[in-house]
Amino acid sequence: MAEVAPVVLLVEDEPQMRRFLRAALEGNGYRLIESTTARDGLAQAAGRNPDAILLDLGLPDGDGIEVARRIREWGTTPIVVISARGKEQDKIAALDAGADDYLTKPFGVGELLARLRVALRRATRSADGQATPVFTVGDLTVDLVARRVRLGDTEVHLTPTEYKLLTTLVRYAGRVVTHRQLLKEVWGPNAIEHTHYLRVYMTHLRHKVEHDATRPRYLLTEPGVGYRLQTE
């Protein structure tokens, strides 16, 4: 973590939620800018240059998804959506609009902090302009330079498609990657309707890199939305 406390812009109209988030974030070394409307949120995002944005969707003067889309028109500040809307379509819409992650209310502090960390790390990394050459989580090691995957001490043999799927997830490690996005990046833009390709290869991949494919530790399913590669 950077020495300077990261600045988080919170766009949320519920006073109770703001109170809880203020306590949780400030207690964990973040500085907070608060905003209660979509219009003000956009202005603050542009004017105060926060390190990350926590964005509620149901705002009194507009939809948070629109705010995310507008911010993405000019900036790459990580956006974590926090919303009471739990339907998969809402999540996909928010992610498609450019949000980095999605948390459904109610959520615990631990989960919020973890997602925020992932978002900030990605921002730092893309600012540095270089990806980590070796990705490690638990027993799983993915060496992007040597194109090698290891589970503990054992070398895992992957087909080219499986490898491409894994490295795509590595690139977005910690974030939800939607089915569409994965299909587009691994199989190309013509394949985005063919989710069963993805399902089948994901099952193969899990059988190779997970200790128990029915209880995956690394390659997590976000039901109805996509997949996430665990980072911690």
Q: Which of 128, 160, 189, 232 binds other proteins (CB under 8 A)?
A: 160
Find residue 104's DSSP bridge partners: 83
Q: Is 86 in the site for other proteins (CB under 8 A)?
A: yes
What's the min distance (Å) between Cβ of 111 and other proteins?
Answer: 12
Size of the site for other proteins (CB under 8 A): 28
97 and 67 in contact (C-beta within 8 Å)? no
What's the min distance (Å) between Cβ of 218 and other proteins?
Answer: 12
Please identify, among the stretches 94-102, 132-140, 144-152, 185-193, the one whose residues bind other proteins according to the rule CB under 8 A.
185-193
Q: Is 16 in the site for other proteins (CB under 8 A)?
A: no
Task: Transcribe 129-163 into DSSP letters.
Answer: T---SEEEETTEEEETTTTEEEETTEEEP--HHHH
Residue window 213-232: x/- pattern of binding to other proteins, with contact defined by CB under 8 A: xxxx---xx-xx--------
What's the min distance (Å) between Cβ of 160 and other proteins?
Answer: 6
Q: Is 49 in the site for other proteins (CB under 8 A)?
A: no
* Long-range Cβ pairs for the range 87-94 (8 Å, 24+): 88/223, 88/224, 88/225, 90/57, 91/176, 91/222, 91/224, 91/225, 92/178, 92/180, 92/224, 92/225, 92/226, 93/65, 94/57, 94/64, 94/65, 94/68
Q: Is 206 in the site for other proteins (CB under 8 A)?
A: yes
Which three-class secondary structure string do you get for 38-55? HHHHHHHHHHHCCCEEEE
What's the min distance (Å) between Cβ of 161 and other proteins?
Answer: 5
Beta strands 148-151; 154-156: pairing state: antiparallel
Helix (H, G, I), strand (E, B) or coil at 4: coil
Helix (H, G, I), strand (E, B) or coil at 120: helix
What's the min distance (Å) between Cβ of 214 and other proteins?
Answer: 5
Q: Is 19 in the site for other proteins (CB under 8 A)?
A: no
Query: What residues from 90 to 149 belong to the interface with other proteins (CB under 8 A)?
Result: 106, 108
Please identify, among the stretches 22-30, 75-83, 126-134, 198-206, the one whose residues bind other proteins according to the rule CB under 8 A.
198-206
Contacts with other proteins by CB under 8 A lie at: 86, 88, 106, 108, 159-161, 187-188, 191, 194-197, 199-203, 206, 213-216, 220-221, 223-224
